[in-house]
Amino acid sequence: MPNTISAGDTAWLLASAALVMLMTPALGFFYGGLVRRKNVLATIMHSFFILCLISVQWVLWGYTLAFGPDHGGIIGGLDWLALKGVGQDPGPYAPTVPHEAYMVFQMMFAVITPALITGAFAERKRFKAFVVFTLLWATFVYDPVAHWVWGGGWLGQLGALDFAGGTVVHITSGVSALVAALVLGRRVGFGREAMDPHDATMTVLGASLLWFGWFGFNAGSAITAGGLAANAFVVTNTAAAMAALTWMTVSWLHKGAPSVLGAAAGAVAGLVAITPASGYVDVSASILIGLGAGVFCYTAIQLTKRLKVDDALDVFGVHGVGGAWGAIATGIFATVAINSAAKDGLVYGNPGQLGIQAIAVGASIVYSAVMTFVILKLIDVFVGLRVPESEEVLGLDATQHREAAYQI
Amino acid sequence: MEVLAFAAFAILVVSWLIAPSRPPITTVETEERAAA
């Protein structure tokens, strides 16, 4: 095979992989600021531990399950177990970069996705249960769905558009978070005592770093260092800003003050929503997607709170609803004027794309919900999901890790 | 599309002008929060 590797594409993809890597510890800080001080280390540890765990799982069997040669549109084969055959020459997915560069870029997506779920079971899950859950969930939920959409599987064959992970990353994690919150049950004292964020500054810093890393997430998904990456970068920034402004405005009108944490959460919601669309829509569409993200995600969170579901850090509202909105919005606003390899959406005369997007959303929701429920129930039987009530009251930092975050 | 984008942003700007201004949190409320 002639060497077709592009230095520019390779440099951009490796830099993007590093940007996406930063998102997982950034998520740890985003979530860490939102919990009570007795649980901050345990919460940050969720993200940091997943970075380590899935980095190894991905090279051993995750990548080949997700991107290995297709088996019936359902799962990848074991041909690339332990990265056998994945080397410095280009692979089948990206003709201008080393296969290893593509693999490590995808690894960072596999890392952050289960980390997103941890916000739902924060402050009450046993560390051992969390470890087993993450390994099983990555293998039986993330890897197959990534194959369906990006690895030559049935959703990709159907024509579903998901540029950077609206279905693969955000719907799967958001829906699984809701299932986890329901299966684990509410935290001790939920609804009776204040559970205010212990450090809002940490959360805003985490959101800012997530925003920074998201440029690699979306613009890196172009896989080339060209115009498509530039468009993805611009619409990503615009949607994040618009969603932050919208969330802040809605919460201001609703609760009487422009919330700082609301602006941070809104930015993340906008980033989530633009993720599947970022390679297919123009900047005007990104403003409307950001507006929708701010309104829909804020409303969803108010609804889950009213229903007394203890999704501790609002993962379903931001990632499940934001991801679903982004996937549907892709079917509305996609245009071949931005990406000639894609298809037009509803507003450009192709309503069928909206139907395909709806199928992708529905399939992701049903599969991740059922699998997550089964995995959690199995873990509950063999390991136990929650810490005892006495340990929950003391806090997970002391009881799970025998450490304290602050000495002051 | 462009018209909708401008309209969306205009709605936000108008909302900021009419949004309510809640009184600042009092010292008592701050202490209650800390105690909780």
CB pairs under 8 A between A and B: 43
In this complex, the residue of B8, B16, B21 whose CB is nearest that of residue A287 is B8
DSSP sequence for A137-206: HIIIIIHHHHHHHHSS-HHHHHT---SS-IIIIIIHHHHHHHHHHHHH-PPTTTTTS----S-HHHHHHH
In this complex, the residue of A253, A257, A291 whose CB is nearest that of residue B8 is A291
pLDDT at A202: 97
* Nearest residue of B to residue A287, measured between CA atoms: B5
pLDDT at A62: 98
Structure-block tokens of residue A109: 């997506």
Q: In chain A, what residues touch B20 (CB-CB under 8 Å)?
A: 252-253, 256
The residue with greater pLDDT, A52 or B24, is A52
| Confidence tier at B30 by pLDDT (50, 70, 90) | low
In a domain, A2, yes or no: no
pLDDT at A88: 96
| Confidence tier at B20 by pLDDT (50, 70, 90) | confident
Residue B23 has pLDDT above 70, yes or no: no
pLDDT at A118: 97
Domain count, chain A: 1
Q: How far is CA A194 from the centre of its chain?
A: 28
DSSP sequence for A52-89: HHHHHHIIIIIHHHHHSSEETTTEE-STTGGGTT--SS
What pLDDT, in 10s, does the model give residues A106-149? Answer: 999 999 999 999 999 999 999 999 999 999 999 999 999 999 99
| Confidence tier at B25 by pLDDT (50, 70, 90) | low
**CATH number of A380's domain:** 1.10.3430.10
Q: Considering only CB atoms, which residues of chain A are within 8 Å of chain B?
A: 193-194, 196, 242, 245-246, 249, 252-253, 256-258, 282-285, 287-288, 291, 333, 347
Distance (Å, whole) CA A299 – CA A324 = 14
Q: Where are the domains of chain B?
A: 2-35
Is the CB of residue A195 less than 8 Å from the CB of residue A39? no
Q: Considering only CB atoms, which residues of chain B are within 8 Å of chain A?
A: 1-2, 4-5, 8-9, 12, 15-16, 19-22, 33, 36
Say yes or no for a CB contact (<8 Å) between A253 and B15.
yes
Say yes or no for a CB contact (<8 Å) between B9 and A285.
no
Say yes or no for a CB contact (<8 Å) between A284 and B12.
no
Is the CB of residue A246 less than 8 Å from the CB of residue A290? yes
Task: Provide the ipTM.
Answer: 0.86
- Residue A75's DSSP bridge partners are A71
Distance (Å, whole) CA A67 – CA A97 = 16
pTM of the model: 0.94
| Confidence tier at B21 by pLDDT (50, 70, 90) | confident
Residue B36 has pLDDT above 70, yes or no: no
Return the SS3 of B6.
helix
Return the SS3 of A123.
coil
Is the CB of residue A168 less than 8 Å from the CB of residue A150? yes
| Confidence tier at B24 by pLDDT (50, 70, 90) | low
State the nearest Cα–Cα gap between A277 and chain B, in angstroms: 16
In a domain, A96, yes or no: yes
Low pLDDT (below 50) residues in chain A: 1
**In terms of residues, how long is chain A?**
408
pLDDT at A10: 98
- The mean pLDDT of B10-27, rounded to a whole number, is 82
Residues contacting A343, CB < 8 A, separation 6+: A159, A161, A334, A336, A350, A353
Domain encompassing residue A140: 7-398
